Structure 1
Amino acid sequence: MSETNEIFNRNRVVYMEFERLYIQAKNSLNPRDISPFISAGRVASAILTDKGNVYLGVCIDTACTLGMCAERNAVANMITNGECKITKLVCVSAANEILTPCGACREYLMQLHESNGEMEILKSLEDFTTVTLNELLPDWWGKKQFNG
């Protein structure tokens, strides 16, 4: 197979993976008020692990600021199922905007596994542009601890 065909096939697979994650995240959106103090489901996230499993999460916003971002909610589901290595992440809002993780989530994702900095994060739905977590969090302070 030619190098061009290999690149095309890889790009097609990546596109299909991100499309699948986007659809699953979007289908998880369910904006609602849980109580006068808590709302949920205005942002949803889908993560793909190195084992090929997809975990979903929605944001939980609280009046006491102890809520949870959609990414961390998806990670909680992943950890509950015994995994920690993420290869791809999609985050979408109820307004159909593609979002990148907030600073707290970037740090959280980075600390889970030494290779999570290489995960691809969807940045644009129009052309399926991605960015790595390493690009969003350059010169991360904890790399030395993973490397001994």
Structure 2
Amino acid sequence: MSKSVEQHQAALIAAAKAAREKAHAPYSRFAVGAAVLDEQGRIHAGCNVENAAYPQGWCAEASALAAMVMAGGKQVQAAAVYAVAPEAVTPCGGCRQKLREFAAGTCPVWAADDSGVRGTYTLGGLLPHSFGPSHLPPSTP
């Protein structure tokens, strides 16, 4: 029997925390890690990577999604973001839309830090009335 999405929560958060340790954030000093669970039960992690030529860096969530796509993943079942701040850190607006490309509105998104889970959301709650692949006509080969 496969694990439920909720059973993957601790592993997703651990992967996001480990990814945060690899962040390249010399300018903001705000390290972020993210992890996504794909439809095959695999976890893909990423970190933010800043660039001296702002805004050419990329977010942790985008890195995690790229790792998932490179590994052949097609759907995000759950996501976790790990960052240390006074309030729970959720994906930025752009990353919410990037997640929407691969996830349903019911997809859980956990925000965590050194104290544990700070917030539990759904992608639909973070990005209501979103635009996604279903709005476009089917592509023709």
Contact 2:23/2:49 (<8 A) preserved:
no
In 1, Cα distance between equivalents of 2:116 and 2:63: 26
Q: 1:19 aligns with which of 7, 10, 15?
A: 10
The 5 A counterparts of 1:25-44 are: 25-30=16-21, 42-44=31-33
In 2, Cα distance between equivalents of 1:14 and 1:68: 26
Structure 1 segments (4+ residues) deviating >3 Å: 12-16, 31-34, 37-41, 94-98, 123-129
| CA 1:32–1:88: 2 relative to 1, 3 Å | closer
Structure 1: gaps of 5 or more residues:
1-11
In 1, Cα distance between equivalents of 2:97 and 2:121: 15
1:3 maps to which residue?
Answer: none
Q: Which segment is superposed worse, 15-24 or 65-74?
A: 15-24
| CA 1:110–1:30: 2 relative to 1, 3 Å | same
Q: Which segment is superposed worse, 43-52 or 132-141?
A: 132-141
SS in 1 for 2:128: coil
1:66 counterpart = 2:41 = no
Contact 1:56/1:77 (<8 A) preserved:
yes
1:4 maps to which residue?
Answer: none
Cα deviation for residue 16 of structure 1 reads 3.6
1:121 maps to which residue?
Answer: 109
Give the alignment's Cα RMSD to 1 decimal.
3.3
| CA 1:45–1:32: 2 relative to 1, 3 Å | closer
| CA 1:33–1:55: 2 relative to 1, 3 Å | closer
Contact 2:5/2:78 (<8 A) preserved:
no
Structure having the higher helix fraction is 1
| CA 1:119–1:32: 2 relative to 1, 3 Å | closer
In 2, Cα distance between equivalents of 1:89 and 1:46: 6
1:104 maps to which residue?
Answer: 94
Q: How many residues align?
A: 133
Q: Which segment is superposed worse, 120-129 or 132-141?
A: 120-129
Structure 2: gaps of 5 or more residues:
none
1:82 counterpart = 2:72 = yes
Q: Which letter maps to 1:62? A: N
Give % identity: 27
SS in 2 for 1:62: coil
| CA 1:40–1:75: 2 relative to 1, 3 Å | farther
2:124 maps to which residue?
Answer: 134
Cα deviation for residue 66 of structure 1 reads 0.9
Report the TM-score when normalising by structure 1: 0.72
